[in-house]
Amino acid sequence: MDREIVKRIVDEARGEESNLVVWDKRDTFTIEPKAEVSVEDEYLKVQMDEGKATVYVEYDAIYKLVVEKERSSRSGTRAGFGAALS
């Protein structure tokens, strides 16, 4: 996935104080708004649990990012951006 796309999605999640859901080659995980997220040159760096855990995700490993919108009457509503793997 392109760094600029990742940056735009991370900024959107921060602005809306929403969860960011990341799908990569190994796993799927949710980043809560209180986590510290930085968009580095080659990877996404996430510090969780008040600095007790740090996750590095290479952009090439990410195949989908989703800003999890606040749920209203319909459950499962998500806006997402994906990249096709070749």
Adjacent-strand bridge partners of 60:
none
| Strand 79-82 with 19-24, pairing | unpaired
DSSP 61: G
Beta-strand ranges (E) seen in the chain are 19-24, 28-31, 36-39, 43-48, 53-58, 62-68, 79-82
Q: What's residue 22's pLDDT?
A: 94
Q: What's residue 76's pLDDT?
A: 53
> What does each of the 86 residues of the chain score in pLDDT, given as a tens digit?
899 999 999 999 999 999 999 999 889 989 999 999 999 999 999 998 777 889 999 999 999 999 998 755 445 555 555 554 44
Token pair for 48: 């969780």
Q: What's residue 74's pLDDT?
A: 47
Q: What's residue 80's pLDDT?
A: 55
pTM for the complete prediction?
0.75
Pairwise CA distance, residues 63 & 83, whole Å: 5
Q: What's residue 49's pLDDT?
A: 79
Q: What's residue 51's pLDDT?
A: 75
Ordered by where they begin, the domains of the chain are 3-72 (2.30.30.100)
